[in-house]
Amino acid sequence: MIEFSNLSISSPNLLWPAGQPSGYNFNKGVLMPKLKTKSSVKKRFSRTGSGKIKFKPAGKRHGMSKRTNKFIRNTKRSSIMSPGDSALIDHMLPYNK
């Protein structure tokens, strides 16, 4: 129940006819703002089951004829990012922990 001076309202529809405002939950009160995930980061990186960051190596978009067979073979598989570099990416993926 929300009370404004002498006004007592038990239903959120009476207070907000168009629905609840964003950032407010009638049952819980004011909520924390949501964090945005960086769009470019979510396309390039993913997490493993243990929480490490996985990525695909660069250099495989075009020009494969000039690359060595060893380079092409080694860039096929995903790699695990080092802990120092993953700290830079970690805050850009707030909900993917």
Q: Where are the domains of the chain?
A: 1-34, 39-90
Kindly report which listed range (13-22, 32-41, 57-66) carries the lowest average pLDDT score: 13-22
Q: Is it the case that residue 19 has pLDDT exceeding 70?
A: no
Tens of pLDDT along 37-85? 999 999 999 999 999 999 999 999 999 999 999 999 999 999 999 999 9
pLDDT: is 5 or 84 the higher one?
Answer: 84
Q: Is it the case that residue 1 has pLDDT exceeding 60?
A: no
Residue by residue, DSSP assigns 37-61 as PPHHHHHHEEE-TTS-EEEPPS--S
pLDDT: is 14 or 80 the higher one?
Answer: 80
The two counts, helices (H) then strands (E), for the chain are 4, 7
Please check whether the domain covering 39-90 is classified as CATH 3.40.605.10.
Answer: no
User: CA angle at residue 13 from 9 to 16, to 5 degrees?
Assistant: 90
Q: What is the pLDDT of residue 38?
A: 92
